[in-house]
Structure 1
Amino acid sequence: MSSESVPANPLAVAEPWDLVADGYAEFAPAIMRPFAERALECASATTSSQVIDVAAGPGMLSLLAAPRVAQVHAIDFSGPMIERLITAAGAAGLTNIEACVGDGQSLPFDSDRFDAGFSLFGLMFFAERGRGFAELFRVLRRGGTAVVSSWAPVAESPLMRTMFGAYRAADPSIQEPRPDPLSLENPEVFQAEMHSAGFETVSVQRHSTTLTFADADQLWETMAHSSAPLGLMRRKVGEQVWAERVAVMKSYLAEHYRPRQPLSTTALLGVGRKPAF
Structure 2
Amino acid sequence: MSGNPLAVAEPWDLVADGYAEFAPAVMQPFSARALGFASLSPVSQVVDVAAGPGTLSLLAARQVAWVEAIDFSESMIARLAKNAAAAGLTNISAQVGDGQALPFDSDRFDAGFSMFGLMFFPERPEGFAELYRVLRPGGTAVVSSWAPVVESPLMRMMFGALAAADPDIHEPQPNFLSLENPQVFESEMRAAGFEAVSIQRHSIALTFGSPEEMWETMVRSSAPLELMRHSVEPEVWAERATLMKAFLVANYEPNCPLSTTAYLGIGHKPEG
Q: TM-score, normalization: structure 1?
A: 0.97
Residue of 18, 24, 30 corresponding to 2:19: 24
- Aligned counterparts of 1:247 and 1:266: Cα–Cα separation in 2: 28
Gaps of 5+ in 2: none
Q: How far did residue 7 of structure 1 move? A: 4.7
What is aligned with 2:200? Answer: 205
1:235 maps to a residue whose letter is H
Residue of structure 2 aligned with 1:256, choices 251, 256, 259: 251
Q: CA deviation at 1:9?
A: 1.1
* Structure 1: gaps of 5 or more residues: 1-5
> 2:218 maps to which residue?
223
Cα distance in structure 2, aligned partners of 1:223 and 1:266: 17
Give the SS at the match of 1:225. Answer: helix
Matched, 1:233 2:233: no
Identity score, percent: 69
For 2:54 and 2:24, locate their aligned partners in 1 and report how far apart those are by CA, in whole Å: 9
What's the counterpart of residue 58 of structure 1?
53
Q: Counterpart of 1:195 in 2: which secondary structure?
A: helix
Report the alpha carbon displacement of residue 224 of structure 1 after superposing the two structures with TM. Answer: 2.4
Q: Distance in 2 between matches of 1:142 and 1:110?
A: 13
Report matched runs for 1:69-148 at 5 Å.
69-148=64-143
Which whole-Å deviations, capped at 9, do the CAs of 1:134-192 have from their partners, x for residues lacking one? 00000000000000000000011000111111111111111000000000000000000
1:37-64, CA deviations, whole angstroms, 9 ceiling, x for partnerless residues? 0000011211110000000000000001
Aligned Cα root-mean-square deviation (Å): 0.9
Match of 1:188 among 168, 183, 189: 183
Please identify runs of 4+ aligned residues in structure 1 that moved more than 4 A.
Answer: none
Q: 1:268 aligns with which of 259, 263, 270?
A: 263
- Contact 2:2 2:120 (C-alpha < 8 Å) held by counterparts: no
Separation of aligned partners in 2, 1:199 and 1:162: 36
2:209·2:254 contact (CA, 8 Å) conserved in 1? Answer: yes
- Superposed displacement of residue 223, structure 1: 2.2
Task: Measure the CA separation in 2 of the matches of 1:161 and 1:215.
Answer: 17
* One-letter code aligned to 1:177: P
Normalised to the residue count of structure 2, the TM-score between the two structures is: 0.99
